[in-house]
Chains A and B, each alone.
Chain A
Amino acid sequence: MTLKLGQIVDNLGLKVVTGTDLLDREVQGGYTSDLLSWVMAHAKEGCLWITVQNHQNIVAVASLLGLAGIIVAEGVEVEEKTREKGEKEKVCILTTEKSAYEISGLLYQMGLGK
């Protein structure tokens, strides 16, 4: 099952931090982890990645793997440098107050990863 980023944003009430023009991107699945090397080794192209990391390297990792986007969860604020990088690298960064656990569950409920 695939979904558009925009559908997910609307459904889960996510805030779009970067990549307002990228919301028609297709999302192939989800991936949740905060260890970036682990993400680099295991996340698949087209996945929406859920993390509490807000360091600029999340953009590098998402761009390297061709991820559909990043959800920074748990109300963590996205650092300025990360935001700038996201704009530059055309990586969609979304935020939510919900926990990484909850947002992962909601995405799964929407059919992502099934």
Chain B
Amino acid sequence: MKKYAADLHIHTCLSPCSDNDMTPANILNMAKLAGLDMVGITDHNSAENIKAFLEAAHDYDILVIPGMEVNTREEVHVLCYFQDMDGIMEWQEVIYKHLPPIKNNKDIFGDQLVVDFMGGVIREEERFLLSAVDLSFDEIVKQVTNLGGICIPSHIDRPHNSLIYNLGLIPEDAGICAVEISKNTLYEEVIKEIPVLKEFTVIQSSDAHSLGEILDRRTYFLLEDLTFKEFTLALKRIKGRKVILEI
């Protein structure tokens, strides 16, 4: 098996809070410089830029994992990953049905740019993407799993929009196998605060909103080869696949 470095939480120019230069080529070139083998593209409540990233990724030896960071009814942020365009688009339809019909005010929140694989702006997304969707954390995990995807609660150590902060503890039987810790902490520190996390796979990601934030090689996946299937096996710690954190 081989070790593959990953940063699984990156926002593109679609997220209102991100820089407008978070385009496919910029992010993938930065990932290449950082020595990453795998990136997760995870905009807030939307997957409009996934297609552009999958197209752009043809020119790189990097696996792009289609993802989304959903804001649950309880205002918990949870990362949802899918194997391909079909999966993530089906999921986007579900999310859009449960997203409140509020329009973005770009003067306050920022631009929501949908781009092509060259980074050219196709349009601006009108729906305000930062709202909480009217689906509970448990419902989201269940539905993502049913659609063949996998969920990882975001920045579980953070004192806002995190599963532990908003919901107190990891819900029983929710089907969570892995959690994310934010980039400015250490595994040992988080475990000291929240000992129960020892029972989970822990990944560390950047939650990058600007190019400079994309993480260097810190979270490694031990896999047979670089595929979505193998990625999910590692999160579940099956057949020797696993995640290794290195500083």
Contact = CB atoms under 8 A, between A and B. Distances in A.
A35 B165 contact: yes
B164 A37 contact: yes
A2 interface: no
Contact of A60 (B136, B166, B169): B169
Contacts of A36: 165-169
B172 interface: yes
Interface in B137-151: 137-138
B130 to A, nearest CB: 18
The interface size bin for chain A is 10 to 19
Interface in A45-68: 53-57, 60-61
A24 interface: no
Given A35-B165, A79-B136, A81-B138, A56 B74 contact: no
A31 to B, nearest CB: 14
Interface of B: 74, 136-138, 164-169, 171-172
Given A36-B166, A37-B164, A37-B165, A57 B171 contact: yes
A40 interface: yes
A39 B171 CA distance: 16
Nearest to A76: B73
B164 A55 contact: no
A55 B78 CA distance: 15
B165 A55 contact: no
Contacts, number: 39
Q: Would you call the interface of chain A mostly helix, strand, loop, or mixed?
A: helix
A56 B138 contact: yes
A55 B172 contact: no
Given A55-B74, A55-B136, A56-B138, A37 B168 contact: yes
Nearest to B159: A37
12 contacts: A37-B167, A38-B165, A39-B168, A40-B168, A55-B74, A55-B136, A55-B138, A55-B167, A57-B168, A57-B169, A60-B168, A61-B168
A38 B74 CA distance: 14
Contacts of A79: 136, 138
A43 to B, nearest CB: 11
Contacts of B166: 35-37
Contacts of B137: 55
A88 B168 CA distance: 19
A36 to B, nearest CB: 3
A38 B162 CA distance: 12
Nearest to B168: A36
A83 B167 CA distance: 17
Contacts of A35: 165-166
B35 to A, nearest CB: 36
Contacts of A55: 74, 136-138, 167, 171
Contacts of A39: 168
A109 B138 CA distance: 36
Nearest to B165: A37
A53 B165 contact: no
A56 B171 contact: yes
A72 to B, nearest CB: 13
A53 B74 contact: yes
Nearest to A38: B165
A53 B71 CA distance: 15
